[in-house]
Amino acid sequence: MPSPYRALFAAPGSKGFSAAGFVGRMPLSMMGIGVVTMVSQLTGRYGLAGVLSATIALSAAAIGPQISRLVDLYGQRRVLRPATLFALVSAAGLLFAAHYGWQDWVLFVCAAGIGSVPSLGAMIRARWAALYRGTPQLHTAYSFESVVDEVCFIFGPIISIGLSTAWFPEAGPLLAACFLAVGVFWLTAQRATEPAPHPREHHSGGTALRSPGLQVLVATFVATGAIFGAVDVVTVAFADEQGHKAAASVVLALYAAGSCTAGIVFGLLHFKGAPEPRWLLGVCAMAVSMIPLLLVGNLPFLAVALFAAGLSIAPTMITTMSLIEKHVPRAQLTEGMTWVSTGLAVGVALGSSVAGWVIDAAGARAGYGVPAASGAVAVAVGFLGYRRLSKPAPRRGGTVEQHSEREERHVA
């Protein structure tokens, strides 16, 4: 590992919470695609599989920011454990309902319950921010976490799809639930690095989403999430049409590998100037990278195209995290990060759902039109909101830094 990354772990406890975050984030890439694989194998209905995956994502979009808001108020340990227990019970219900062929409405109720899973990525980034706020190491830390996200997306689909196709259909989601339980309870056992909760008086101004800059980021990432959700579902279907359904996990892993590679390099760079132009360039690159998918005719070409498409993901996400810190007060940082994840989750829900219906109606190749269209929407929203994103972020009581300084004086 390059020395800037090694230097991150000089802080006591950083290795422990980072490792717990890695384990706890594996379900992020395993659960949705695992449900798609499981349901499509048990019922043959890609439309149902896509809508169930979308239900999980939409539920997470609705519940996730509220969980993170409570975390900012009361701390990670007090909030994450009960939320995770509820998600685990819901996941167990979904597996039983799918296995025994219960009515569709039971599947949807259980899928909605899984949405209470906490945003572990936001929790870990909040811990890094508490350690390295205001230092160059924070950029490296965010880069490292983006790499961890992509490593999860490399191995998660391989494990989930591989187990569900080679062992039994429910195996992938079952293991995802186990990873979630271990990761969350391991993380919340580490109290020394847990960010201090902020009393409610620091939240008197309402939700972090009132920030115009955050609104632009969230809206853009709804369209970006639609890219991710559609690519997952369409790739599984395309591999199935080619007679190699299990190969979908390898192809999707290459998509994540491209992002992981770019994230490692990006974390070693130090940029000057405003981050907004880099962010908009990244959004445009993600959109353009979807165009070659419309021309795919076989799995090797698809694998190459997706690897190239992945190169723009991590740099864009890393820059997004820097912009969140710019536009959201410190007392609402976890909530702000989760709102971007919520935008992605809503987009994943829309993308996977629409892609599933397109596949059922016109086949897998036609399904790649969904991420291409979603990329165009992301670019349009990014350009329309760029001026709001570039403006200084007015704060209730001042800038982010002033807000934080008052908190520190209050505590002192």
Over residues 353-363, the pLDDT tens digits come to 788 888 888 88
- Please determine, for residue 268, whether its predicted confidence score (pLDDT) is greater than 50: yes
| 190: Cβ contacts below 8 Å, ≥ 6 apart | 13, 16, 17, 20
Domain total for the chain? 1
Q: What band does 406 get if pLDDT is binned at 50, 70 and 90? A: very low
CA angle at 349 for the pair 263 and 328, rounded to the nearest 5°: 55
pLDDT of res. 370: 92
The more confidently predicted of residues 374 and 164 is 374
pLDDT of res. 247: 81
CA angle at 157 for the pair 152 and 162, rounded to the nearest 5°: 135
pLDDT of res. 201: 45
Lowest model confidence (mean pLDDT) among 12-21, 95-104, 202-211, 284-293:
202-211
- Joined together, the tokens standing for residue 406 give 């008052």
CA separation, residue 62 to residues 57, 137, 342, 396, 407 (Å): 9, 32, 7, 25, 29
CA angle at 323 for the pair 405 and 386, rounded to the nearest 5°: 130
> One-letter amino acid identity for 161?
I
* Residue-averaged pLDDT of the chain: 81
**Strand, helix or coil at 301?**
helix
pLDDT of res. 56: 85
Lowest model confidence (mean pLDDT) among 188-192, 200-204, 276-280, 334-338:
200-204
The more confidently predicted of residues 211 and 87 is 87
Percent of the chain whose pLDDT exceeds 70: 90
- Residue 5: inside a domain, yes or no? no
- Residue 256: inside a domain, yes or no? yes
Task: Kindly give the residue spans of alpha helices, DSSP state H, lying in 115-191.
Answer: 120-132, 137-166, 171-188
- Residue 167: inside a domain, yes or no? yes
**Which domain range does residue 321 map to?**
12-196+209-394
Q: What band does 308 get if pLDDT is binned at 50, 70 and 90? A: very high
Rounded Cα distance between 33 and 29, Å, is: 7
- Residue 3: inside a domain, yes or no? no
CA angle at 17 for the pair 137 and 331, rounded to the nearest 5°: 65
Are the beta carbons of 68 and 353 closer than 8 angstroms?
A: no
- Residue 407: inside a domain, yes or no? no
67-110 tens-digit pLDDT: 888 887 888 888 899 999 999 999 999 998 888 878 888 889 99
- Residue 402: inside a domain, yes or no? no
Q: What band does 412 get if pLDDT is binned at 50, 70 and 90? A: very low
DSSP 196: P
Rounded Cα distance between 41 and 165, Å, is: 8
Q: What band does 377 get if pLDDT is binned at 50, 70 and 90? A: very high
Which of 38-42, 44-48, 61-65, 215-219 tops mean pLDDT?
215-219
For residue 337, which of 85, 132, 72, 113 has the smallest C-alpha distance? 72
- Please determine, for residue 16, whether its predicted confidence score (pLDDT) is greater than 80: yes
Query: Residue 135 sits in a domain of what CATH number?
Result: 1.20.1250.20
pLDDT of res. 344: 80
Q: What band does 410 get if pLDDT is binned at 50, 70 and 90? A: very low
- Residue 400: inside a domain, yes or no? no
pLDDT of res. 397: 37
Which of 7-16, 117-126, 307-316, 395-404 tops mean pLDDT?
307-316
For residue 190, which of 411, 24, 66 has the smallest C-alpha distance? 24
pLDDT of res. 398: 36
